[in-house]
Structure 1
């Protein structure tokens, strides 16, 4: 059980050529490949899967049905195979032995767990059958090993079906060639270990590490990692690089990367943490920085944490530095401190300034609280009252529990209540110099409402340092926090909406560089999730569409015009599929483009359907043009002959010549109309077969008789290979003659004058074979798959000299399939001839119930028949009358049903020839009324009509007609019908 390795190896053909087994133990490469294919084509019945123990597996090896397997009875096995089998049974490692020319499988109990529900049915079966889904991948490895090469692979991935489920699995495995007694390679010994869990665990670790790296890079505070006593910078995130104004930090010592730190305390802090293994935390530490290119140094205030990094033994190997730039906060606190000092100075300076101070506090946008040393609230300004509502007075710290607040600083305590002893003012009154916090408060009188405040507290001392109170500044930052939350929620909603869209959604910056793709993009293209930015998206566009897509996009970016284009985009399967790309610019209130938002919609099926419709429309137009041409061809000589007949009615010879012309052309038109009707009935399943036991030799002779004039005209050489005896099938003789004549007609039309056509009948694998071949124009490769479709023809000139409507082969295929057979076409290409082969089931004579299958022969009638012809087409009625009169019959002609009925009552006829579409009543109604007349009840009724569908024939039969003929009626067919009518 293996899969193809990711590193290169010998190809299958090379391995097969290098493998030369002794004494013919293995088949040659071609026979082995054929054997593999045959094995994969075999089917095996499903069987219930039950757990099989190790002892039961061993029992299978020793007592299994080996006599029925390609390996034969176990007693006949070669000694190496027996030895390997015993070795495998005693091993706890999954072991597989592949042996013999059929690559039969022998394995131990541990391997059966890998097989899942394939065990125990896999014992003794060929490897290609058992692992059919991966055989194409492992086949080269098998032949390399059979050629004598030992193979080993680690953590190879492949897809297998196990217990009815397709799943990924990874394996370590080896292939070892096994030699028989003669020294030739007779099989393969495969030991393997499944590493699926380890591989997946490693992937999870890698994903976790990647996420940590992402968090490290995107952290709002700066972070850096150093190693060794020299403090070599290994990692620094973007915040760190922005702070120091440098990007080339990695791989340098701290003193080299940021030389201005040499005169400050930070290098000593690195040494201290590295030497002691104790963390250092520093608040508001000033850092003097001199970024490259800056003229003056920059002073920043930073909250630092220096954390030692230790290995598994506890030894310090480096330092992790985390910091937050609090410069702005520091300046704000300086301002607050300055305001506090000013307020205290004013309060202490004189009473006269008290009101002025109160006004200042009331007007201040920042909430101010002053409490005495016990915690009594003595001063509370308007901003505090606005934030906290109608709060109670507090006389000391013990009453602070009535003020509800929760931590909101994002730390581990976030969301937990603030205790009375944890308030910043409480801590300052206990002796701390400066305390800041971010809390969420619930104003008094407004239960359920939450406000977020940034709080800063400092002690108030006398000139000698005595604590006399505390000042608290509180800033309402609720709107800022909510705005940030709304922005985060808006982004989440945006990503959620775009991820559930069926289309690919994307956005770019104003310069056209992508900065977002939804999940559909990664699912569709197979690109690694998260890849954005400047990746070459256009490389996924079909090479033929790439330039247009890029030019159109650049034009839209430059002009601001909407982007819309159809192009082919590579799917993750490798297929290029049509998509509709659209994008619109997003503008700000000044009209400037701040973003592009776009989508790609898969329209592959619509594009293909449109092309199919266009192809169908084109073929329809070509067919209509061809039909018009083919109908005009016979109409032209018919029209000319009619004109000549009118001018020379007394020239019998010319009349006969022109009559032959008209008869031939009418016959040609009739065949075209019959073909159209036939193909309509057959392809819609409306045709009925009059099946009987038919000799294909007689079918072939009838077809040759029909097509003979065309073959003689084109001076073709027709070579036939017919069997000496009968070749019997169950079928409709007339339809089968139609199939063979269509194939011969097709060969005759597309073979140059004097060419060769062969017709052969044979028997192959229980089927009758009809094969028609020629050395004519052949069939182009692109046309060959469509040759049996309606109206399909090869290239033709404007004269359409070959004739036909392109439906003969489609009709032949439909008729053959109605008989349960098949038809195929082959050609080596244009100018190299073609070959058509029909396969039909042979007749099962013991179950056949043959009928006569013959039409009644024409019976000569000496007596004159009294005949009435009824047709509203005067020319049609008159020509039929002339034909019957030439045979000596008495004919009366009427052009409506009413007159005919009246004449029939006065003088009944022996034979009525009726059109169906009469002006005053239908031919069906006329026939029924004639049957009700005493003198015409036993007369012969023949329908002559342009309606030739199966249901039309049924209606005629129900109306009382004896025969239904379709216009134009062949003269011989009509005379045959008339000959069956005897005198009364």
Structure 2
């Protein structure tokens, strides 16, 4: 109609050329021509008619000759009812409605009666001046038409909703079994055009995951029986991607209560499944980590009230999760440490970090062991909402630290003793040697003897030295077994006793090679005994040489004599004598077995790690 209006010769009418019409008239005309419902315009004193495309059906064979004609000529059959009202709107400039106006319409080749309400509104010059025309809107109120119109609107709203939905909405006609509607989201989720399933509903099944197909196909008959069914399944898209879908089918009943359609909504759960799997994987990794580490893991509220504990906590303390909740965990803490634990929690609230060292009771034997406890707050919106922490058994570490301190003290002690002994050896060795080579050889031998003792002592901190092993080590290089007799009980020597006795045996052996039994095909007997005296157990060692001929230079006294008769009483609080007899040397050494004990072997009442 817009084309017909533009091409009509309006200059041959009282209205004049279209270009000369008032702006208000041209604006209203554009609105009328674009309207989806039937609308007419009446212009000029004789109410010349203009109308839009939807009005063509109303005019029947009057169209297109009605365009530009006076309304009286176009509608003579209803002018009596309609004309006066239109003229009144034109004259008075007020809107009027003509209700229930019957109109005979040619519909589908048949004349049918229709009923309309006509809503007429004046067109005012400059929007508020005199009326220059009338606009009439035709509202059909014929019942079937109204019903159809409402149905079309409902279907349009449904399609707008379905087309905008990210879920797949579908409808199946029960009678034909065809899919009436499936929303565009199908193409995004299934990865294929809707056309295929709209043309052949059964093609939908080819996308089902083989493992789910039988289960899913059995759900549709249940919907056909009026049941609402929700099914989770997987689909395999043409590109090979597997997606998870939750599909709910439900019955749609007609006016008579019979099943006419099956409707459904299919949701894409793929991302939700991925997130769920990610959470499950994270929880599994966390659980594996927590259950695999040796620490006791726990969580608590800001006030130090326990919420959760790991299996290690329950196994170690014997307290279940329920028993540990709140302040129940303090039952595992040593009574002397509980107040400190509470204070540590108070400080943690202010400092943002929990640090504490408390003793926890081990349920298996009731022993308390030291644990280092650390926790970090979980902060949300600037507030601490939870604490996550661990408690680590540091009892062995503390023992090692104490042991390390003892080792350092022992090292300092031994170095002082060794330096003092070396000074004494050097000073004593300087006398009686005319040649530097002899001096160096004897000095080296004595230092080597000291070194062998240190090797034995440093194999383990605080280790004792076996007396027989010490003597054999010194004599192995100089004495033949068939000329040597060794007898005595098993005796463990302290570090100090081993140091002094090693040098004494070395000096006795060296002198025996030069002047005694080991140098003259004689025999050597070394015997030792453990005796009890008033101040405890003593070790007595006897060195007896038997030479086949009288000893040469039997009156010589040197470092060995000084060592046995001087250092044994001083260092070991014992006794030492040497008798050079014509048939061989007799040396006797005796000292308390605990005399001069190593610093790593504290006696009663002596604190560990104390320096001498």
| TM-score, structure 2 as length reference | 0.46
| Structure showing greater relative contact order (alpha-carbon pairs closer than 8 Å, 6 or more residues apart) | 2
TM-score under structure 1 normalisation?
0.30
